[in-house]
Homo-oligomer: A and B are copies of this chain.
């Protein structure tokens, strides 16, 4: 099978390296930055670098672009893909891309399927792409009623070959609602956490809890701004929710109310324990 990857950043570059490492599929790469394509060839991350005229060779294509670029790209290049081939994006939000891209590709007889490989690093770009980014990660698919079932099966099979821990099928809106909580809110809170003036005061006091809480504060602000605004309502709900909960601890502390504070902490502990069985599936 021939797999094309459009956009050789962290996500696309890691897909290429994973395809090359774990499968015998042919990997075709495309990027507008010729320094990136040169690096991809140098590192044997792809079999070939292609131009849009060769998109039609691919059986499966991954579009690994920022949300805004994704729509522009599809508008320009949907007709370059082979009818009946499968095109997936890898965007961290799904409702907007699925809504915009599905008809653009359908018009050309190409199947578009929203996908989200749930993995990342605190660094961006091909130079940080690795061949094990997707180990233990979830591969989320968001088919619609028009998606042919065999496209979902093809994507699942490939995900297993690439070493994803699991494939989860969701609908686009549900995906975005849950991701607002499990990923986007984590980036907002982490990025807010580090802003205390106390942060730069002294070395040697950083326990694991601090490092955990602030790890993803180091984010790509251009990409996340797009992702957050594309999922504005769901993320706003989560930010408002944690603000409301934090205010409860704030009030308990302000009042010196040990019973209330203990009750708040117990509730959080119990909710964490309850979540261990559901949000963190063990394979």
Q: Which of B177, B212, B238, B242 contacts A186 (CB 8 A)?
A: B212
Complex interface bits, A95-121 against B, C-beta within 8 A gives 1, otherwise 0: 000000000000000000000001110
**Cβ < 8 Å to B, chain A residues 176-197:** 177-183, 185-197
A192-B245, A205-B178 as given contacts; A200 in contact with B254, CB under 8 Å: no
Asked whether A264 is an interface residue with its Cβ less than 8 Å from the other chain, the reply is yes
User: In the complex, which residues of chain B have a beta carbon less than 8 angstroms from the beta carbon of A224?
Assistant: 265
Number of interface residues of A (CB under 8 A): 96
Asked whether, in the complex, the Cβ of A194 is within 8 Å of the Cβ of B253, the reply is no
Closest 10 CB pairs of A and B: A191-B268, A168-B204, A186-B209, A221-B265, A217-B272, A181-B198, A192-B245, A182-B210, A212-B212, A206-B279
Stretch from A11-19, A32-40, A225-233 contacting the other chain: A225-233
User: In the complex, which residues of chain B have a beta carbon less than 8 angstroms from the beta carbon of A250?
Assistant: 236, 239-240, 243
**Contacts A119-B208, A196-B241 given; 15 further ones with Cβ under 8 A?**
A170-B202, A170-B205, A181-B199, A182-B210, A185-B196, A186-B210, A192-B242, A192-B249, A195-B267, A198-B238, A214-B272, A214-B275, A218-B269, A228-B253, A228-B261
Asked whether A150 is an interface residue with its Cβ less than 8 Å from the other chain, the reply is no
Asked whether, in the complex, the Cβ of A229 is within 8 Å of the Cβ of B256, the reply is yes
Q: Which of B175, B218, B256 contacts A232 (CB 8 A)?
A: B256
Complex interface bits, A244-283 against B, C-beta within 8 A gives 1, otherwise 0: 0111111001101010011011111101111100111100
User: In the complex, which residues of chain B have a beta carbon less than 8 angstroms from the beta carbon of A198?
Assistant: 177-178, 180-182, 238
